[in-house]
Amino acid sequence: MWNIKKRIDKDPERGILEKRAGGQKILFGVAFAIIFTYCLTLLISFAWLIMSSFKDAMEYADINNSAFAFPKVWMFENWLLVPQYLVVESTNYLGMLINSLWYTVGSTTISILCITMMSYCLVKYDFKLKGVISMTIIVTMIIPIIGALPATYKMYYSLHIADSPLILIASTGGLGFNSIIMQGFFRGISNSYAEAARIDGAGHHVIFWKIILPQALGPVLSLWILAAIAKWNDYSSPILFLPHYPTLSSGLYQYESSMTRLLNMPVYFAGVILSALPVLVLFILFQDTIMNNVTAGGLKG
């Protein structure tokens, strides 16, 4: 009995590989090597991007210089030239930043809020179209985005909400995935909370906003952050539907495509890095919140 207890006590101290069989160790090692190599390539690419942003434009364009060589003269002023050089259709870098902020925050907030309310209704209420709505959510995950693009384009311009901040009212990004996640969370909330509130005279709105939603703030915040990162990096939608409101993603893409030989690559790289910093900081600050609430199989309370 003492030996068994001794082995059990030692188990938590064993390494990850020691707890696996021979074949599992090999598979784990191969997977680790692949992931490590992939992460290393990303880090090297990002380091090269930062280093290149400090080079002189002529030095960067000189084919006789190594692409991985350190700058001969560190051009720190490249970062100060970003607002002056990166201009798309009379919209400067600051304007693109403002467009990215209202587009990302507005569309993400509206989308997550609508999905949260819809998911709550699908889980806690019974009505005639419940099955149809649930099936529609599944179908939206099956149909490729490009398959619905012509219809979406036609609808936005027919409703006169394209090329306008009014396009935020049509924000439904991630409908299928986010709805399934939120439905799984709401199923885990006991109906006792709502029943107790009804006994005290609370209505449907009070129950949702003051009792249920506060319990769902963790997963809602996690999904909001993930959706915000996706919206911030989205360049195709603003190009199609907001041509006169370029965001950082769409604006930098259009700037790079239109400038050709006149493009100052180091300044452009500095602008790219600056555009990535907000979502990078957002993810670093809230990575624990995301990992603790959203998992591969559902949600943890």
Based on the fold, state whether residues 104 and 243 are members of the same structural domain.
yes
| 42: region left, alpha or beta (phi > 0 left; psi from -120 to 50 alpha) | alpha
Same domain for 121 and 213, yes or no, is: yes
Q: Is residue 73 part of a domain?
A: yes
Please indicate, yes or no, whether residues 158 and 261 belong to a single structural domain of this protein.
yes
The tokens describing 217, both together, are 């703030």
Other CB atoms within a 10 A radius of the CB of residue 233 amount to 15
Same-domain status, 285 and 165: yes
Co-location of 76 and 97 in the same domain: no
Which domain, by its residues, includes 270? 83-299
Domain identity same for 46 and 134: no
Per-residue pLDDT tens digits of the chain, which is 301 residues long: 445 444 444 455 455 556 666 678 788 889 999 999 999 999 999 999 999 999 988 888 887 777 788 888 899 999 999 988 888 888 899 999 999 999 999 999 999 999 999 999 999 998 888 889 888 888 878 877 777 788 888 989 998 998 999 998 887 767 788 888 899 889 888 888 888 988 888 888 899 999 999 988 888 998 999 899 999 998 888 999 998 999 999 999 888 888 777 788 899 999 999 999 998 898 888 888 777 766 534 443 3
CA 155 and chain centroid, separation? 25
Q: Is residue 281 within a helix (H) or strand (E), and if so which, with residue range?
A: helix 265-293
DSSP SS3 for 240: helix
In a domain, 8, yes or no: no
Residue 239 corresponds to which tokens in the numbers above?
């190009």
Dist. CA 240–CA 243, nearest whole Å: 6
Last residue of a domain, one of 80, 99, 122: 80
Q: Domains in the chain: how many in total?
A: 2
* pTM: predicted TM-score of the whole model, two decimal places: 0.80
Last residue of a domain, one of 60, 80, 100: 80
Nearest to 85 by CA among 297, 281, 263: 263
- The answer to whether residue 292 sits within a structural domain is yes
Domain check: are 165 and 285 in the same one?
A: yes
Residue 3 belongs to a domain = no
Q: Which of 80, 111, 128 is the last residue of a domain?
A: 80
Please answer whether residues 194 and 121 qualify as being in contact, where contact means their C-beta atoms are separated by less than 8 angstroms.
no
Task: Say whether both 248 and 183 belong to one domain.
Answer: yes
Residue 5 lies in a domain: no
Count Cα neighbours of 31 within 13 Å in the Cβ-side half-sphere: 7
Q: Which of 297, 279, 275, 298 is nearest to 287 (CA)?
A: 279
Same domain, 70 and 113: no
Judge if 220 and 148 occupy the same domain.
yes
What does the block give as tokens for 66?
């190594």
